[in-house]
Amino acid sequence: MVRITGNFQQERQLHPAAFNLLPELFDKGWHEPSKLNQNSRQSAILLQQSKETFASSLKVKVSEIEFLGEAELGFQLGIQGLLKQRSKLFYSAIDRQEVFAVAKTEENQGRTINELPVDNQGVIQIGKFSIDGVLVWQIANGETGNKQSTPNVDCQIFADCTSSGVDLLPDFDYQTGLFDSTSWAGPSGLGILVIKSNSSWRNPLPHNDLLRVPNSYSLPLVLASAVAIENYPKDQDIRAELKEYIINFISNQIKDVDIASNLSGLSKQISISIKSVEADRLLLALEEAGFSVDSGSACRSADMQPSHVLAAMGRPIVGNIRLTLHKELNKEVVKNFCQALKSAIENLRR
């Protein structure tokens, strides 16, 4: 078995600070916080402390935070919760598949939906908005890392922060927002839904109580994610330098490669398409060299489907690979990867 020396895949290990505390967190956090006993009161205190940590890191109020055991559920709750009877729904051609699913459901129920186009840099093209509209706004794309500017609109906004996380917080007012724990090296299976105004949001799920979300999350995972988000910003971060090195190397050393990511985007993502090369064969060649990368759409990497993001941008979708730069990467690994990439492409083109 080949030893993987460089992980450029979207998935990464739990932050070391959280990983080292996992046994303790599961020992302390399995009690139900709402019950009236000493252990449960201790769990309630830990839960409150975690909410305060998230609120501070995400620049929101404690009362605005809800935890989800399934992060993707936040798209339905965050978007549909803002829609009124006559609201029009606006989203972009490069949004996540979960957003498309919500839009399709609403369209089938008779709602007017509008898919906004993007240019070849992935910049969303905003038209005119009515005050009763709901806009889904992606802070940064999960495949290319390319950022969006501040939306200058007078309507309700759902902020998709699942890829950007604490690396890039919204600089505008929004009514609901969704974060994914994995974006700051926290555990998977945890979403953080921000609901800023109960007056403009309602629970779209069937319910018989006043709870805003199902509350099916794991408390130990919440505690682990709080530890991760607290320590993640403290880690050394040279990803911008590494991203620039990779893009410059590919631009100067490898022919017929389209780079969809720009240097002004998030430093942790790069998307490239290589002409005359099959992506799955390139993945295998890189794995044999000790490097793991992703291919296809970030929403559907498991089945190797072409990227709808690149297609919407008018970019090549053949021979597409995606690199995720984690904070633990160093220059030596990146330099070795670039040489392995060049060699693998040359061999496959022969």
The CATH number of whichever domain residue 139 belongs to comes to 3.40.640.10
The reported pLDDT for the residue numbered 305 is 66
Q: Output the pLDDT for position 132.
A: 82
Are 157 and 298 in the same domain? no
Which residue in the block uniquely carries the two structure tokens 């993987």? 4
Q: Are 30 and 207 in contact (CB under 8 A)?
A: no
Residue 320: partners with Cβ closer than 8 Å, 6 or more residues away: 271, 272, 273, 274, 279, 295, 296, 306, 307, 310
Please tell me what DSSP assigns to residue 4.
P
At residue 298, the pLDDT reads 60
Query: 57, 263 in Cβ contact below 8 A?
Result: no
Task: Record the pTM.
Answer: 0.93
Strand order in the sheet with 65-68: 65-68, 191-195, 176-180, 156-160, 134-138, 89-92, 113-116
In a domain, 7, yes or no: no
Find the angle CA(258)-CA(260)-CA(264) to the nearest 5 degrees: 130
Question: How much is the pLDDT for 301?
Answer: 45
Q: What are phi and psi of 126, to 5 degrees?
A: -90, 135
**Torsion angles phi and psi, residue 107, rounded to 5:** -65, -40
Amino acid identity for residue 27 in this structure? D
- Among left, alpha and beta (phi > 0; psi -120 to 50; other), residue 169 is beta
Instruction: Give me the number of domains the chain comprises.
Output: 2
Instruction: Name the domain boundary from 234, 262, 294.
Output: 234
Of the three residues 180, 215, 234, the one that is the final residue of a domain is 234
**Domain interval for residue 145:** 16-234
pLDDT value of residue 303: 44
For residue 253, count other CB atoms closer than 10 A to its CB: 13
Instruction: Report mean pLDDT in 10-residue bins for the chain, 350 residues.
Output: 79 90 84 72 90 98 96 97 95 97 97 96 86 93 96 93 97 96 96 91 88 91 97 96 98 97 96 95 95 78 70 94 95 97 96
Would residue 145 be called left, alpha or beta, if left means φ above 0 and alpha means ψ between -120 and 50 degrees? Answer: left
In angstroms, the CA 194 to CA 83 distance is: 16
Angle in degrees, 0-180, between the axes of helices 239-253 and 331-349, rounded to the nearest 10: 30
Assess if residue 46 is contained within a domain: yes
Q: Looking at the structure, tell me whether residues 229 and 261 fall in a common domain.
A: no
212: Cβ–Cβ under 8 A, 6 or more apart, which residues? 66, 77, 195, 198, 203
- Domain boundary among the residues 234, 264, 291 is at 234
pLDDT of residue 236: 95
Q: Token match 């129920």: residue? A: 109
pLDDT for position 302: 45
* Residue 350 CB-density burial (10 A; 0-12 exposed, 13-18 middle, 19+ buried): exposed
* 227 lies in the same domain as 242: no
